[in-house]
């Protein structure tokens, strides 16, 4: 700062001295000086073209990186030496001297390339000027070399960093004042030198200062733009990584529980920005209970995503502590309220599904009310449960609510990025459109329903920018696929009806259901006919689980359990099918048929019960 001020003060005093010379009574007319200034400025305008071309070349990249190789140093010297020659050749002959912008090239070369390039460019320009001759040849040549050297010294002092526009302009002004001083010192007679200085000093000081200022401004502006673009790319890269991390926090592998055919769950999260504040999660608390939740953090961007990650972690940790949904929300709320100086909050709907019964216990912390989409296409909005957003008020007491999902019912949760999505005209998507889409997709898989809602919102929004994070979760309840049969042949009709309903509900091909029905018919008949030695009523349990992909079931896993006498059907010898029917031994044909209907068959005796397990690959 001190050096800049001293330079500015000295330049100001010398410029004032020059101006005083110009305004003396015997001096030239102001009109002549202004005409000369305009001409020099026109000549100087080529510096704009030079700055534009240089800053878009590979040479400029090596300059800004501080890695100037020998070849690039030669290029830089040659370019600004040519500009110095141009400054001389485009000058104006006045009183035996030349009004010019020759010193500008070496000054810039020194500022950009250092103490070798500046003087080298200046030396070339100086030799050219010296051999043109005239009374001012020597001082003009010396001043050109000094200008390049001074630029190089500044380069060293600033460790290769370009000076600001003001500093550079004052530096150029000082060099031209020094130029005029050399003319007065070395040219004789003195009166001729003084007349020349009166004519050209002010135009040359202003033209060179202006040219230097424009060049440095263009270069610094481009460096700033490139640094801004570099920072932008870095931030975008970091945000992209943050987005991947955030999306990695929530479950994204579907189906998440391929061995659980009692329910089907799917969720979508699309942040409005690179990262957002919406969240969802679901996880098994044990073999009979599924916890699920959807939330929406206040605000957007990185702060919301961090708050979202903390909230999700706390909710999952609390849920595994054998607490009710209301107690889970109360505990997390109290933790979020501690040291919440940013005043952030999150709305959350959290529920626990009892898988065998379909009963759901839930609690709501100020979130959008979910929907129950019944199998018959009717739609029920959950009643409002008292609750506020988490992080707002410590010690708040949340309430629980219970309801039951029937087989093939769907429970849908969402954030306001769905119903409050806007089109280019500012119209909201609204709950009406959302409800219509749900009714039209009442019998589809969970992933199909979430996809239809997301696509509908996108189509509605069109070219409008996404204003909020979009999150939607669908939980379709299939129920426990099991049946308890009495040890009575008449129960075969119930078994057939159960399998037919299962096939329709899960879109299992008819051929697969027929094969399973045939195998179970044979097994059930054998148990009823030969498994019991009394006339009491017994129960035969059949449980079916499905191994599914995202869209369909690919394998049925069937378990048949009875409390009859120990009997391992796998120990029965295979029938000899080559022997005539009347000569074959009795037995074995039924189990042989079952083995051909399924892909795997296992038997065990456990807790005084026969357990037979079989697998059936689902084929179209």
- Residue 326 · residue 295 · CB < 8 Å: no
Q: Helix, strand, or coil here: 597?
A: helix
Res. 579 pLDDT band, cuts 50 70 90: low
250-477: CATH, from 3.60.40.10, 2.120.10.30, 3.40.190.10, 1.10.3720.10: 3.60.40.10
Q: What is the DSSP letter of 272?
A: S
DSSP output for 74-121: HHHHHHHHHHHHHHHHT-EEETTEEE--TTHHHHHHHHHH-TTHHHHH
For the record, the structure tokens of 247 come out as 């999306």
What pLDDT is attached to residue 380? 95
| Residue 420, pLDDT above cutoff 60 | yes
Q: What's the pLDDT tens digit per position in 206-220?
A: 888 888 988 899 889
Task: Describe the strand order of the beta sheet including 401-404 as a list of residue ranges.
Answer: 278-286, 289-297, 346-354, 359-365, 401-404
What pLDDT is attached to residue 391? 95
Res. 108 pLDDT band, cuts 50 70 90: very high
Calculated CA dihedral for residues 551, 557, 561, 565, nearest 10 degrees = 160
Q: What's the pLDDT tens digit per position in 425-470?
A: 999 999 999 999 999 998 899 999 999 999 999 999 999 988 888 9
- Domain 2-227 and domain 250-477, same fold? Reply is no
Q: What's the pLDDT tens digit per position in 125-173?
A: 999 999 999 899 999 999 999 999 999 999 999 998 999 999 999 999 9
Res. 182 pLDDT band, cuts 50 70 90: very high
- What is the rounded CA–CA span in Å between residue 156 and residue 212? 19
What pLDDT is attached to residue 27? 45
Q: What's the pLDDT tens digit per position in 24-49?
A: 434 445 666 566 666 666 666 677 77
- Helix ranges (H only) for 389-442 are 416-419, 430-440
Taking alpha carbons only, the member of 212, 139, 221 closest to residue 171 is 212
- Residue 277 · residue 307 · CB < 8 Å: yes
- Residue 83 · residue 48 · CB < 8 Å: no
- Residue 275 · residue 246 · CB < 8 Å: yes
* Distance separating the N- and C-terminal Cα atoms of the chain: 83
More confident residue, 413 or 552: 413
Which range has the top average pLDDT, 56-70, 110-124, 214-228, 263-277? Answer: 110-124
What pLDDT is attached to residue 587? 59
CATH topology of domain 2-227: Arp2/3 complex 21 kDa subunit ARPC3 (1.10.1760)
Mean pLDDT, rounded, of the chain: 86
Is residue 96 classed exposed, middle or buried when 0-12, 13-18 and 19+ CB atoms within 10 A define those classes? middle
> 144 vs 217, 226, 483, CA distance in Å?
22, 32, 102
- What is the rounded CA–CA span in Å between residue 555 and residue 550? 13
- What is the rounded CA–CA span in Å between residue 530 and residue 548? 35
Tell me the Ramachandran region of residue 190: left when phi exceeds 0, alpha when psi lies from -120 to 50, beta otherwise: alpha
For the record, the structure tokens of 289 come out as 């209970």
Domain boundaries, the chain: 2-227, 250-477, 482-617
Estimate to the nearest angstrom the gap between the alpha carbon of 363 and the chain centroid: 31
Taking alpha carbons only, the member of 10, 2, 51, 7 closest to residue 167 is 7
- Residue 258 · residue 478 · CB < 8 Å: no
Q: Which residue has the tokens 């500008």?
A: 104
**Count, residues in the chain:** 620
What pLDDT is attached to residue 36? 61
Res. 67 pLDDT band, cuts 50 70 90: confident
What would be the CATH architecture of the domain defined by 482-617? 2-Layer Sandwich (3.30)
More confident residue, 68 or 238: 68
Secondary structure (H, E, C), 492-525: HHHHHHHHHHHHHHHCCCHHHHHHHHHHHHHHHH
For the record, the structure tokens of 262 come out as 């009692």
For the entire predicted model, the pTM comes to: 0.61
- Residue 105 · residue 143 · CB < 8 Å: no
- What is the rounded CA–CA span in Å between residue 609 and residue 612? 10
Q: Which residue has the tokens 């001295």?
A: 17
- Residue 466 · residue 518 · CB < 8 Å: no
Omega within 30 of 0 (cis) for the link into 540: no
> 554 vs 259, 265, 496, 509, 550, CA distance in Å?
11, 17, 21, 11, 10
What pLDDT is attached to residue 26? 41
């Amino acid at each position: 700062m001190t050096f800049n001020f001293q330079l500015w003060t000295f330049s100001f005093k010398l410029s004032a001295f020059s101006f005083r010379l110009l305004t003396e009574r015997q001096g030239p007319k102001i009109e002549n000086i202004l005409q000369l200034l305009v001409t020099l400025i026109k000549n100087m305008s080529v510096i704009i073209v030079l700055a534009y071309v240089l800053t878009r070349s590979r040479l400029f990249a090596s300059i800004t990186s501080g890695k100037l190789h020998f070849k690039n140093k030669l290029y830089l010297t040659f370019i600004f030496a040519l500009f110095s020659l141009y400054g001389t050749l485009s000058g104006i002959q006045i009183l035996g001297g030349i009004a010019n912008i020759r010193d500008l090239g070496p000054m810039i070369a020194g500022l950009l390339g250092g103490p070798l390039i500046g003087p080298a460019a200046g030396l070339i320009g100086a030799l050219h000027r010296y051999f043109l001759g005239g009374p001012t040849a020597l001082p003009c040549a010396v001043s050109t070399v000094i200008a390049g050297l001074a630029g190089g010294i500044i380069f060293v002092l600033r460790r290769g960093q370009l000076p600001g526009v003001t500093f550079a302009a004052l530096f150029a002004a000082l060099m031209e004042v020094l130029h005029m001083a050399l003319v007065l010192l070395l040219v004789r007679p003195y009166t001729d030198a003084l007349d020349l200085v009166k004519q050209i000093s002010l135009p040359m000081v202003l033209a060179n200062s202006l040219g230097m200022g424009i060049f440095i401004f263009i270069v610094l502006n481009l460096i700033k733009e490139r640094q801004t673009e570099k920072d932008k790319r870095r931030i975008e890269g970091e945000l992209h990584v943050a987005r991947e991390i955030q999306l990695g926090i929530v479950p994204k592998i579907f189906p998440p529980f391929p061995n659980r055919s009692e329910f089907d769950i799917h969720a979508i999260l699309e942040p409005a920005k690179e990262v957002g504040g919406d969240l969802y999660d679901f996880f098994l608390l044990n073999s009979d209970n599924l916890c699920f939740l959807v939330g929406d953090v206040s605000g957007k961007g990185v702060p919301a995503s961090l708050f979202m990650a903390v909230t999700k972690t706390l909710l999952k940790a609390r849920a595994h502590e054998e607490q009710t949904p209301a107690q889970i929300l109360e505990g997390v709320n109290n933790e979020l309220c501690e040291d919440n100086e940013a005043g952030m909050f999150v709305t959350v709907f959290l529920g626990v599904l009892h898988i065998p019964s379909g009963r759901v216990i839930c609690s709501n912390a100020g979130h959008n009310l979910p929907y129950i989409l019944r199998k018959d296409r009717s739609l029920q909005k959950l009643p409002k449960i008292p609750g506020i957003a988490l992080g707002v008020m410590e010690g708040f007491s949340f309430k629980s609510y219970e309801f039951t999902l029937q087989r093939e019912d769907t429970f849908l949760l969402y954030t306001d990025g769905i119903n409050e999505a806007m089109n280019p005209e500012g119209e909201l998507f609204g709950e009406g459109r959302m409800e219509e889409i749900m009714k039209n997709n009442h019998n589809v898989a969970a992933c199909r329903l979430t996809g239809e809602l997301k696509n509908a919102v996108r189509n509605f929004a069109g070219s409008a920018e996404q204003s909020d994070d979009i999150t939607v979760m669908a939980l379709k309840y299939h129920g426990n696929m099991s049946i308890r049969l009495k040890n009575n042949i008449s129960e075969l009709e119930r078994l057939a009806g159960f399998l037919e309903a299962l096939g329709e509900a899960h879109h299992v091909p008819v051929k697969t259901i027929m094969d399973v029905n045939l195998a179970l018919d044979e097994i059930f008949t054998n148990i009823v006919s030969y498994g019991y030695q009394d006339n009491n009523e017994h129960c035969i349990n059949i449980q079916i689980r499905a191994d599914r992909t995202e869209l369909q079931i690919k394998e049925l896993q069937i378990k048949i359990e009875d409390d009859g006498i120990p009997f391992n059907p796998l120990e029965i010898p295979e029938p000899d099918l080559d022997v005539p029917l009347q000569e074959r031994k009795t037995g074995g044909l039924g189990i042989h048929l079952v083995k051909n209907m399924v892909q795997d068959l296992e038997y065990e005796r456990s807790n005084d019960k026969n357990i037979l397990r079989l697998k059936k690959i689902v084929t179209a």
